[in-house]
Amino acid sequence: MATFTQKRIALLSLAQLNTVLTQNGLVPLTDKSLAQREVASLIDNGTVSLDEVINTKAANIVKPTAAVDDDLIKQINESNVQSKTAVQEVNDTLSRVYSLEHNINKKFGNIEDDFRRLSSTLESHIRTITKPDQSAVSNEVNAVVSKLFDQFRKEVTPEQVEVLAARVGTFELKTAREVFGDVATKYDDVDFGDLQVGVWNDAQSPELVDDYVFNPSHLHQALIALDDPLPDNVWLAGERGTGKTEFVAQLAARLKRRLYRVNFDEALERADFIGGNSIESSNVVWKPGIIVQAIKHPGAMVLLDEIGFARAQSLAALHALCERSPHRSITISETGERIPVAQHVVFFGADNSNGHGDTSGNFAGVREQNTAFLDRFSFTLRFEYLPADQERDLIAGRTGLPLDAAELIVKFANVAREKARAGLLTQPPSLRQLFAWARSVRKGLPVEVAFNNAIINKFPADCTAELLGVFSSHINVTQFKQTLK
């Protein structure tokens, strides 16, 4: 049975409901039942009160992808829903009347005819409202829509429409195969190509890199984590250069979702990513940091990069935000304002470890994370380097280096990575360094010079001998030069 709040919300128009949603950082909806549910959720979690919702004046909200004809049909449907609700209320009244009639007849048999007449009247009323005059409803809706658009044209500038359109975007459902391709949606005996994914069409989503190679099982898990208005956060663990950051960026690029990235280090203060006071025109003004900006944007993806280097006091501010709860929010101590996290906002944590610190000794400064904080990330994905043939193809495809030359670079890289795991190098060479080496050689720089500039000079001095040893034993310079001809 509907609650008192649900009944009151059901009496509001879609325009009022969408006004409440947009005032609280949510995306306007075209389905009234969904809008009612979202507004009820805002009331339940204390974001707004029922009285505030009821007293909200409908604002002019532009839905760039909705046609006027659809709006007319939608409002007619809403009229039918209201009619059905009225029918139910009348039926409830009838039931009470019949019960009352029965009790009264026991005491006053002479008033039976009066109640029968009342019952007949109510039944006639039901027949009237269950068959609304569609023509009359259509004419009334046309008049209201025309009036609203006339007012909209007078009050809203084209620039404001453009800003609103960019903010709202257009959400559409596609299959994973349509978005990520056939190869990226298959692994082992699993084919998740028909999985429905939301594409947000945000104009400020990251740039697409066509040749990025997704690990299909990682992609499958990430898409499942995102498939909810209250998504699961995901932890990405793996060595330097295994593609953790690019995974999130290219996931956002293909889903056309806005990406906010925070790079943690020892010096990063809470005010740098949450926000803090600043002086503006001789006044103290609180300025939001990147995290606060992100949580206000529905569908945003937040990458907490190199999070293992963050100080515990910095991460404490993220606990309430990363909690998988409809009440997730942050309270700004400087202003007392409570800022809820918008729907579909998801957090990715990227680190060299899985949150339990560095056991190899190769990543100085990586901290073990608080268990309570790690529990806020539902899944952990372990990233490894690409298979040699895929890495070779990627380097060749992105830099134009011949495949044979790219294969020599990959051989060097894999041996150096083993040295890093054994503690003989402070860190493995990154894929970015390999790209730089390949590009330089492709453009005419001698192999040894390009290697020194892209690899040797990027490492501490005590790694030079080990790197040169790997180079001389696995890179035949003469053979390398011949592959370039």
- CATH code, domain with 291: 3.40.50.300
Domain boundary among 383, 407, 438: 383
Question: Looking at the structure, do residues 318 and 434 belong to the same domain, yes or no?
Answer: no
Above 60 in pLDDT, residue 129? no
- What was the pLDDT predicted at 343? 94
Question: Looking at the structure, do residues 342 and 470 belong to the same domain, yes or no?
Answer: no
Average of pLDDT values for 119-128? 67
Task: Give the span between the Cα atoms of 66 and 18, in whole angstroms.
Answer: 14
Q: Kindly state the percentage of the chain with pLDDT values over 90.
A: 43
- What was the pLDDT predicted at 278? 83
- What was the pLDDT predicted at 363? 43
Half-sphere exposure of 63 (CA within 13 A, CB side): 18
Note whether residue 193 is domain-resident: no
- What was the pLDDT predicted at 137? 56
Note whether residue 179 is domain-resident: no
Domain boundary among 356, 383, 410: 383
Task: Give the span between the Cα atoms of 28 and 85, in whole angstroms.
Answer: 24
Task: Give the span between the Cα atoms of 286 and 307, in whole angstroms.
Answer: 25
Task: Give the span between the Cα atoms of 167 and 458, in whole angstroms.
Answer: 41
- Which pLDDT tens digit goes with each residue over 79-91? 544 654 665 676 6
Note whether residue 223 is domain-resident: yes
Note whether residue 192 is domain-resident: no
| Residue 56 and residue 19 in contact, taking contact as beta carbons nearer than 8 Å | yes
Average of pLDDT values for 227-239? 94
Average of pLDDT values for 14-35? 85
Which long-range CB contacts under 8 A does 97-106 form with residues at least 24 apart?
97/122
Question: Looking at the structure, do residues 139 and 227 belong to the same domain, yes or no?
Answer: no
Task: Give the span between the Cα atoms of 36 and 6, in whole angstroms.
Answer: 8
Specify the 3-state DSSP secondary structure of 121: helix
| Residue 410 and residue 391 in contact, taking contact as beta carbons nearer than 8 Å | yes
- What was the pLDDT predicted at 335? 87
Question: Looking at the structure, do residues 20 and 89 belong to the same domain, yes or no?
Answer: yes
Question: Looking at the structure, do residues 128 and 206 belong to the same domain, yes or no?
Answer: no
Q: What pTM value is reported for the model?
A: 0.61
Question: Looking at the structure, do residues 150 and 263 belong to the same domain, yes or no?
Answer: no
More confident: 206 or 85: 206
Domain boundary among 361, 383, 405: 383
Q: Please count the structural domains in the chain.
A: 3
Average of pLDDT values for 95-114? 64
Q: Kindly state the percentage of the chain with pLDDT values over 70.
A: 76
> Cα-flanking dihedrals φ and ψ of residue 241, to 5°?
85, 10
Summary mean pLDDT of the chain: 82
Question: Looking at the structure, do residues 132 and 261 belong to the same domain, yes or no?
Answer: no
User: Which range has highest mean pLDDT (17-21, 228-232, 279-283, 423-427)?
Assistant: 228-232
Question: Looking at the structure, do residues 379 and 418 belong to the same domain, yes or no?
Answer: no
Note whether residue 328 is domain-resident: yes
Residue of 372, 245, 361, 352 lying closest to 309 (CA atoms): 352
Question: Looking at the structure, do residues 124 and 61 belong to the same domain, yes or no?
Answer: yes
Note whether residue 247 is domain-resident: yes
Confidence of residue 106 (pLDDT cuts 50, 70, 90): low
Average of pLDDT values for 412-441? 92
Above 70 in pLDDT, residue 301? yes
Above 60 in pLDDT, residue 367? no
Note whether residue 185 is domain-resident: no
Question: Looking at the structure, do residues 47 and 131 belong to the same domain, yes or no?
Answer: yes
Question: Looking at the structure, do residues 136 and 261 belong to the same domain, yes or no?
Answer: no
- What was the pLDDT predicted at 359? 47
Please give the C-alpha separations between residue 243 and each of 25, 236, 306, 381, 393, in angstroms, as whole numbers. Answer: 32, 10, 13, 12, 16
Note whether residue 150 is domain-resident: yes
Can you read off the two tokens belonging to residue 121? 């009247």
Range of the domain at 356: 201-383
